[in-house]
């Protein structure tokens, strides 16, 4: 299936690996291939940087971007910068204007009604008259969104605003740890974010409102290790399975060891792929329903079409895994 650039790009984020903006080691590690399955990088100038070190971090990141610009485009991951506020975004876009060609876009933390109009005005201005789009990935993670009394209204207003600049929105992200912090909660490696009822409910509402029109990415998994030990990796795999079932695509990563597991989770099963191809190439005449390739489930062209398209896109980008 032929995909336009935006369609492919929004599914290609995969595991978005976070790195503090002061991390000078990243370019060399990218050159050395030290990050297997790396698809995208986010350089953080927000929570990972102390306020009094921000200016230093900005200058270091400028040097890092210069080094990344020297890497062959085919070997370079997608590059994003996490800024702090709309004002900070304007400053950073100007500061890094020489590297606009390698920066795919910006992550907008704590995106809600208090700042969305300013962010939207900023990204419109940045893209005015430009051929290459600078994308945004708003992060939903504030109390305003968590508040059950006003959540649906807030999320609806946010979506309505984002719809006005839909061409610039690559991905919608969620701040699992930020939501947990509101309630003083934290999941263990043997648990998933879905075991925390209040957080699960927030996620369900976000998916309900956004996932029909946007790719929504899953929250960070905060456990990792140099080697797989059957604990952190098993927990991550289980949460990724629940992410997928609930409509999240991709995930924020905080350590390179998480990337292969996230990448594997984005592959589609052989059975799903074969069914998706049948649905997209439907040739059953007047019938709108037929058995799956394996003969053990129903394919219905009118209700499985959107699912089939997503499966086709993921297979094209990440590949197919054989059924066990």
Assess whether 246 and 139 both reside in one domain.
yes
User: Residue 115: pLDDT band by 50, 70, 90 thresholds?
Assistant: very high
Q: Say whether both 190 and 285 belong to one domain.
A: no
Higher pLDDT, 73 or 4: 73
What are the residues whose beta carbons fall under 8 Å from the beta carbon of 96, sequence distance 6 or more?
Answer: 61, 62, 65, 81, 103
User: Please, is 144 exposed, middle or buried when counting C-beta atoms within 10 Å of its C-beta (0-12, 13-18, 19+)?
Assistant: middle
Minimal CA–CA distance to 105: which of 96, 114, 113, 116? 96
Separation of alpha carbons 296 and 286, rounded Å: 22
pTM for the structure as a whole: 0.95
Chain segment 219-233, per-residue pLDDT in tens: 999 999 999 999 999
Q: Is the dihedral of CA 249, 252, 258, 263 positive or negative?
A: positive
Mean pLDDT across the chain: 95
Among 239, 266, 293, residue at a domain's last position = 266
**Whether residue 281 is found in the same domain as residue 190:** no
Instruction: List the domain range (segments joined by +) for residue 232.
Output: 5-266
CATH of the domain at 187: 3.20.20.60
- Indicate the DSSP class of residue 89: H
Residues of the chain by 3-state class (helix, strand, coil), percent to 5: 50, 15, 35
And the tokens for 93?
């876009």
Of all residues in the chain, the percent with pLDDT exceeding 90 is 88
Give me the mean pLDDT over the 95-114 stretch.
Answer: 97
Compute the average pLDDT of residues 69-96: 96
Domain total of the chain: 2
Closest CA to 22 of 67, 56, 71: 56
Look at residue 2 and tell me whether its pLDDT is greater than 80.
Answer: no
> What does the pLDDT read at residue 301?
87
Per-residue pLDDT tens digits for 176-197: 999 999 999 999 999 999 999 9
How far apart CA 254 and CA 18 sit, in angstroms, is 5
Tokens found for residue 41: 């990088």
């Amino acid at each position: 299936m032929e995909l336009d650039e935006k369609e492919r790009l929004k599914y290609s984020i995969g595991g978005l690996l976070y790195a503090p903006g002061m991390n000078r080691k990243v370019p060399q590690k990218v050159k050395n291939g030290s990050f297997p399955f790396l698809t995208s990088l986010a350089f953080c100038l927000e929570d990972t940087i102390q306020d009094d070190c921000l200016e230093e971090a900005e200058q270091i990141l400028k040097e890092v971007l210069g080094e990344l610009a020297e890497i062959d485009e085919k070997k370079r991951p997608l590059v994003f910068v996490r800024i702090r506020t709309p004002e900070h975004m304007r400053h950073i876009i100007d500061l890094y204007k020489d590297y606009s060609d390698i920066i795919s876009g910006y992550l907008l933390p704590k995106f809600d009604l208090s700042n969305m109009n300013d962010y939207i005005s900023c990204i419109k201005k940045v893209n005015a008259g430009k051929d290459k789009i600078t994308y945004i990935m708003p992060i939903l993670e504030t109390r305003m969104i968590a508040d059950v009394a006003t959540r649906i209204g807030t999320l609806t207003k946010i979506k309505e605003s984002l719809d006005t600049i839909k061409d610039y929105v690559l991905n919608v992200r969620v701040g699992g740890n930020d939501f947990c912090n509101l309630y003083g909660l934290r999941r263990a490696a043997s648990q998933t974010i879905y075991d925390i009822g209040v957080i699960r409910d927030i996620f369900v509402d976000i998916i309900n409102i956004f996932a029909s029109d946007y790719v929504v990415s899953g929250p960070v998994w905060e456990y990792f290790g140099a080697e797989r030990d059957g604990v952190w990796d098993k927990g991550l795999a289980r949460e990724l399975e629940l992410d997928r079932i609930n409509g999240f695509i991709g995930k924020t990563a905080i350590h390179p060891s998480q990337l292969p597991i996230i990448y594997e989770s984005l592959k589609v099963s052989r059975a799903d792929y074969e069914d998706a191809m049948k649905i997209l190439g439907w040739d059953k005449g007047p019938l709108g329903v037929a058995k799956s390739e394996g003969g053990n489930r129903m394919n219905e062209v009118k209700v499985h079409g959107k699912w089939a398209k997503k499966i086709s896109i993921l297979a094209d980008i990440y590949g197919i895994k054989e059924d066990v």
